[in-house]
């Protein structure tokens, strides 16, 4: 088929959604389809831009291009599903969460004003129409599909995205890890990397951590590291090439990933593929679809003391950490592109 993947792109920003789109395009092409990614810039301020962005998608004709029919469009993020097409499916990364589950929290920029309430109302209406037109609805996690059902009354099927990193693997038997705790994520408030730093200040053992990623909170995290006197124990490395990220996954003791109500979280799947246990929080959303406390990692309250206690436990018992990580590897072994491509291209 000729397939268009619809992507909503914040210029100069690359995150999980962009990784998903790239991986999906490669997988569809590997299965014999012709694929083009159609991306429009996404701007959320002022809030009226959200509605204009949806209108832009609504006005695009993706039934054909250069005289060639487009057989299928796959929508990913708000507001891509506003596009019109007779054969449209959605693989929902997330909706505009500021208007839904984040509303009324510090993570949302929507206030309880007549103007903001009207924009929220119209976003919900756009989602109802655009997603309601889709032949099939999928979400990247059970967490995402449950939100869709709760707020919009629409049913979607969980469909987990595979990772794109290559070379992740457990260490050979008898080879020791380097003892570090690894964090790989965008550095913003929702990822709560600050909790890891605060926890390291409370550990009994002088545990070291490596933080990989970039984002708006980088300066704040650097200041926190200095304030807690952890400059010799925490390495804040910024964004790294894939091969370096793989090397750090393969060498570390464990992975910290405890965001607020995560949509999916590639870091969890990457860590488990490398045979590393994951430390997450009780309110971390989709990470808990994979992390089982005491089985594949640890699930603790989002508090520095609770995180520190687990870090000290794994520092003292590396064999336990290894067993948990290997169990995690088994838990994600069946996540693959064949299943994703079959689901998205099926008429069932």
Read off the pLDDT of each residue in 50-59 and give the average, rounded to a whole number.
97
Do residue 153 and residue 203 come from a single domain? no
pLDDT band at 93 (very low <50, low <70, confident <90, very high): very high
Give domain status of residue 153, yes or no: yes
Give domain status of residue 172, yes or no: no
CATH code at 233? 3.40.50.2000
Give domain status of residue 256, yes or no: yes
Task: Copy the structure tokens of residue 110.
Answer: 């929507």
Do residue 210 and residue 112 come from a single domain? no
Do residue 190 and residue 152 come from a single domain? no
Do residue 6 and residue 152 come from a single domain? yes
Read off the pLDDT of each residue in 211-224 and give the average, rounded to a whole number.
96
Read off the pLDDT of each residue in 52-68 and give the average, rounded to a whole number.
96
Do residue 71 and residue 146 come from a single domain? yes
Closest CA to 157 of 148, 147, 169, 145: 145
Q: What percent of the chain has pLDDT over 70?
A: 100
Q: Which domain holds residue 227?
A: 181-331
Give domain status of residue 168, yes or no: no
Residues 238, 218 contacting (CB under 8 angstroms): yes
Which one of 94, 129, 159 terminates a domain? 159
Do residue 217 and residue 271 come from a single domain? yes
Do residue 137 and residue 12 come from a single domain? yes
Read off the pLDDT of each residue in 221-242 and give the average, rounded to a whole number.
97
Alpha-carbon span 316 to 214, nearest angstrom: 31
Give residue-wise pLDDT tens across range 98-157: 999 999 999 999 999 999 999 999 999 999 999 999 999 999 999 999 999 999 999 999
Residues 2, 11 contacting (CB under 8 angstroms): no
Provide the CB-side half-sphere exposure for 233 (13 A, CA). Answer: 21
Does pLDDT of 178 surpass 90? yes
3-class SS at 84? strand
3-class SS at 58? helix
Residues 184, 213 contacting (CB under 8 angstroms): yes
**Residues in the chain, overall count:** 348
Closest CA to 271 of 302, 246, 301, 243: 246
Phi and psi, residue 328, nearest 5°: -65, -35
DSSP assignment of 138-180: EESSHHHHHHHHHHH----EE-PPPP------PPPTT------
Does pLDDT of 348 surpass 80? no
Total domains in the chain come to 2
Do residue 154 and residue 214 come from a single domain? no
Give domain status of residue 343, yes or no: no
Task: Copy the structure tokens of residue 275.
Answer: 């045979």
Do residue 219 and residue 103 come from a single domain? no
Read off the pLDDT of each residue in 315-343 and give the average, rounded to a whole number.
97
- Burial string for 133-146 (b: 16+ CB within 10 Å, else e) reads bbebbbbbbbbbbe
Give domain status of residue 293, yes or no: yes
Give domain status of residue 84, yes or no: yes
- Between the alpha carbon of residue 153 and those of residues 25, 37, 82, 84, 281, the distances in Å are 30, 29, 18, 21, 28
């Amino acid at each position: 088929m000729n397939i268009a993947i619809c992507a909503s792109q914040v210029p100069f920003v690359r995150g999980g959604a962009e990784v998903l789109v790239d991986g999906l395009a490669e997988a569809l092409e590997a299965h014999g389809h012709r694929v083009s990614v159609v991306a429009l810039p996404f701007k959320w301020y002022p809030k009226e831009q959200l509605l204009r962005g949806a209108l832009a998608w609504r006005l695009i004709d993706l039934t054909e291009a250069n005289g060639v029919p487009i057989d299928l469009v796959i929508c990913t993020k708000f507001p891509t599903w506003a596009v019109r097409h007779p054969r449209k499916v959605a693989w929902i990364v997330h909706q505009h969460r500021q208007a839904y589950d984040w509303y009324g929290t510090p993570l949302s920029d929507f206030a309880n004003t007549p103007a903001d309430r009207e924009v929220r109302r119209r976003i919900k209406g756009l989602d109802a129409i655009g997603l309601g037109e889709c032949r099939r609805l999928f979400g990247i996690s059970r967490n995402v599909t449950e939100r869709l059902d709760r707020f919009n009354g629409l049913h979607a099927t969980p469909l987990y995205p595979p990772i794109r990193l290559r070379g992740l693997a457990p260490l050979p038997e008898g080879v020791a890890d380097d003892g570090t705790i690894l964090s790989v994520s965008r550095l913003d408030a929702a990822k709560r990397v600050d909790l890891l730093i605060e926890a390291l200040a409370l550990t009994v053992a002088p545990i070291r951590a490596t933080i990989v990623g970039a984002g708006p909170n980088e300066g704040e995290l650097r200041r926190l590291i200095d304030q807690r006197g952890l400059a010799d124990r925490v390495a804040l490395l910024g964004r790294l090439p894939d091969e370096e990220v793989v090397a750090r996954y393969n060498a570390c003791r464990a992975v910290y990933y405890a965001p607020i109500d995560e949509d999916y979280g590639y870091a969890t799947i990457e860590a488990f593929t490398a045979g590393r246990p994951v430390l997450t929080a009780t309110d971390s959303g989709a990470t808990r679809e994979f992390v089982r406390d005491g089985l594949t990692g640890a699930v603790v309250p989002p508090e520095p003391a609770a995180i520190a206690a687990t870090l000290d436990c794994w520092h003292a018992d590396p064999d336990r950490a290894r067993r948990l990580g290997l169990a995690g590897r088994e838990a994600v072994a069946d996540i693959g592109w064949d299943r994703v491509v079959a689901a998205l291209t099926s008429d069932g």
